[in-house]
Structure formats: C-alpha cells, structure tokens
C-alpha cells in the first residue's frame, strides 16, 4: 500500500499474517491436576474464541464425540498439531488421556441410550466446578467405580439437573465455558448437591485409593477385582443382569447402598474377649496401606464372597468380609493423618 502523506503512517504489504505470527495459538491454557484431555481441549477452544463443536474441524475431526474419543486414543498427528500450537509437551498431553495404565473395563462407555437408569460417559461434582478458576472435568469422573466427590463428600452427577441430558461440551455450538449445559444452557456449577451415606462414601473412597489407576492393572488380582466390581449390581441384588458401567450414577449409588455396609466399622470396637480376639485376627490380616497388591487381593476376595453366606474361611485364612476390610481401611487412613470421622462422615 502506498504512503498517503508525509505524516501519515507508512503501510506496506508484508507477508501474510499467518506467515509472520508464531505457530502458537493466542490462547494457551495450562492443564489442571487430573484434567481430562477433552476438558482441556474444550477450554483451549474457548480461550481461542472457537466453540468446541467447531474446534473439531480445526483438528481435522468430524463433530460428534470427537474429544471423548481423543481421551481414549490421541493420534500422533493431532498430538503434534496440539504441541506445535500450544507448546504443551507430548508427555503432558499423554498424561491427560485415559489409555495409559487405566482399567478400560471400568470406564463409562461413550454410547448414549438416553434412558434414565443408563450411564452417561461423564460425571461431575458441581462444587468442584464452582471452586475451579476455570471449570474442568477430572479423569476419575470417567470411572464407573466413582460415585462421590472425595473433596466435597457429595454424590457425583451424570446429567444436567435442568434438562436431564448428558454432559456434551464436545457438542457446544456457543462460545461459552464448558460448565454450561450444551443443550439448555444451565450453569452446572449451580447444580444442587446430593447427599450420599457415609458408608457409601467410604466404600467409594476405599476403592479409589486401593485401586489407583496403575495399581489395579498391574496387580495379579486386578482382573478378578475388576470383574467383581463390574458385577456389583448383581451382588447388591438390584439390576442383577447389568454391568456397573451400564448404570447411571444414581443407580450405582443405589446398588452400593444395598450392600448393607454398616456406618460403624467393626475392627476397632472390641469390647469383650471374643471381639478382642477377632480384632487381633483381623489386624494380622491387614497389609500396610502402601501394599496395593495385597489390598487389591483382599478387596477382590471380600467382593467375591456370596451375599448372605457365612464366612468360608477357617482360622487364619486371609479372607475378610467387606465391612471388616473397610473398617481396617478407615483405621489405617486415620492413622495416616486423616480422622476416621472425616472418612466415614458424621
């Protein structure tokens, strides 16, 4: 372009804008602890002024459940593209996926039937979303074994409380943060919290602590424990033919609550000789908290016991009833600096 006058700014044709700017996108955001890759991608899209549904095309993908699919498998060319434009290392991108050391069988499936008691692909805690500087979804909320929030003690949700549809931030066509329901616009941070019984919360926490994502895939008893966790509905006597992953969060909570776990744990409450003897026997069977393999085996055995049957073990055979195991877990967790009250709830 020609200069118009002596004092006018001189404007000349330069290289195309795309050629002079760096490869980095203007909006770059840091992944948060335990953040799902899809959650980070939705935030990245928003930070760059693109609605998530349209962002699929930026990555060369078709709409649909494009980002949940990337949680499971991130093709190398997309990982390279993201690294180039955001400078987030490929290791960091991989760490947000669900495919490394994660028990895939326990993940909530991506299919969507729309039926009330059926699972959706993702759960959330409205208090966590409200506490975040930028609301994000956690990797653990993809697991069927998770039903409560460790931090806030409330039940997780898997649907918008206003329109009852699943979380579908991947399908959001408006330029809004991902905590707004893509179907009705409800602010998910405002979803009312739902109470959960202290025993159910302890069970949930115990499973989560003992079956750390890597530990369960490595342990010899891991496959048995996964099978038994998946058949929790039949163990509880409800939804007997259904797998844990096929059920909504509310239905899974219902199943765990039907396990009739006591609110008071038996291990530490020895009042007479018999109980003291039993407490000593149980204490001998409890491995250190760091021994994940042993805990996984005990948990698999405890869940494998047929409901309502007397103990099949004799003497010191290392099988424990589920309430005994949870009681030991609570006792050891409180010894590790937390209080049993806090774990079990009041």
Q: Return the number of the residue (144 or 188) whose C-beta is nearest Zn ion.
A: 188
- Asked if 161 and 192 touch (Cβ cutoff 8 Å), the reply is yes
Q: Return the number of the residue (63 or 161) whose C-beta is nearest Zn ion.
A: 161
Q: Return the number of the residue (156 or 344) whose C-beta is nearest Zn ion.
A: 156
DSSP state of 234: H
d(CA 278, CA 299): 19
d(CA 346, CA 339): 11
CB of 161 to Zn ion, least distance (A): 8
CB of 193 to Zn ion, least distance (A): 9
Q: Which residues bind Zn ion (CB under 5 A)?
A: 125, 127-128, 149, 151-152, 160, 162-163, 181, 183-184, 186
d(CA 90, CA 55): 20
237's CB contacts (< 8 A; 6+ apart) are 258, 307
Size (the chain), residues: 346
The SS3 assignment for 157 reads strand
CB of 23 to Zn ion, least distance (A): 37
CB of 182 to Zn ion, least distance (A): 8
Q: Can you name the residues that pair with 107 across neighbouring β-strands?
A: 143
205's CB contacts (< 8 A; 6+ apart) are 148, 150, 343
CB of 278 to Zn ion, least distance (A): 36
Q: Return the number of the residue (132 or 278) whose C-beta is nearest Zn ion.
A: 132
Q: Return the number of the residue (163 or 175) whose C-beta is nearest Zn ion.
A: 163
């Amino acid at each position: 372009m020609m200069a118009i006058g002596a004092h006018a700014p001189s404007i000349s044709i330069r290289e195309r804008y795309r050629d002079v700017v760096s490869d980095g996108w203007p909006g770059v955001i840091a992944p948060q602890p335990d953040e799902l890759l899809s959650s980070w991608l939705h935030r990245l899209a928003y930070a760059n002024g693109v609605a998530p549904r349209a962002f699929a095309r930026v990555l060369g993908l078709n709409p649909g459940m494009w980002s949940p699919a990337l949680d499971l498998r991130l093709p190398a060319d997309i990982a390279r593209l993201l690294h180039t434009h955001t400078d987030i290392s490929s290791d960091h991108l991989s760490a947000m996926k669900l495919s490394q050391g994660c028990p895939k069988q326990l993940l909530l499936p991506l299919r969507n039937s729309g039926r009330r008691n059926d699972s959706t692909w993702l759960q959330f805690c409205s208090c966590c979303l409200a506490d975040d500087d930028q609301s994000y979804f956690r990797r653990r909320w993809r697991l069927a074994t998770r039903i409560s929030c460790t931090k806030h003690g409330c039940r997780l949700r898997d649907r918008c409380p206003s329109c009852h549809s699943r979380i579908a931030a991947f399908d959001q066509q408006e330029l809004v943060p991902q905590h707004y329901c893509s179907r009705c616009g409800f602010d998910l941070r405002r979803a009312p919290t739902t109470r959960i019984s202290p025993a159910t919360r302890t069970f949930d926490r115990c499973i989560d602590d003992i079956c750390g994502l890597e530990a369960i895939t490595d342990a010899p008893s891991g496959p048995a424990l996964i099978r038994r966790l998946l058949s929790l509905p039949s163990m509880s006597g409800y939804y007997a033919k259904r797998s844990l992953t096929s059920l909504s969060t509310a239905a899974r909570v219902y199943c765990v609550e039907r396990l009739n776990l006591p609110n008071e744990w038996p291990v530490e409450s020895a009042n007479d000789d018999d109980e003291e003897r039993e407490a000593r026997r149980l204490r001998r069977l409890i491995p250190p908290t760091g021994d994940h393999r042993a805990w996984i085996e005990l948990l698999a055995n405890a869940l494998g016991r047929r409901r309502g049957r007397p103990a099949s073990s004799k003497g010191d055979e290392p099988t424990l009833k589920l309430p005994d195991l949870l009681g030991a877990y609570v006792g050891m967790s409180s010894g590790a600096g937390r209080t049993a009250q806090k774990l079990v709830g009041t």
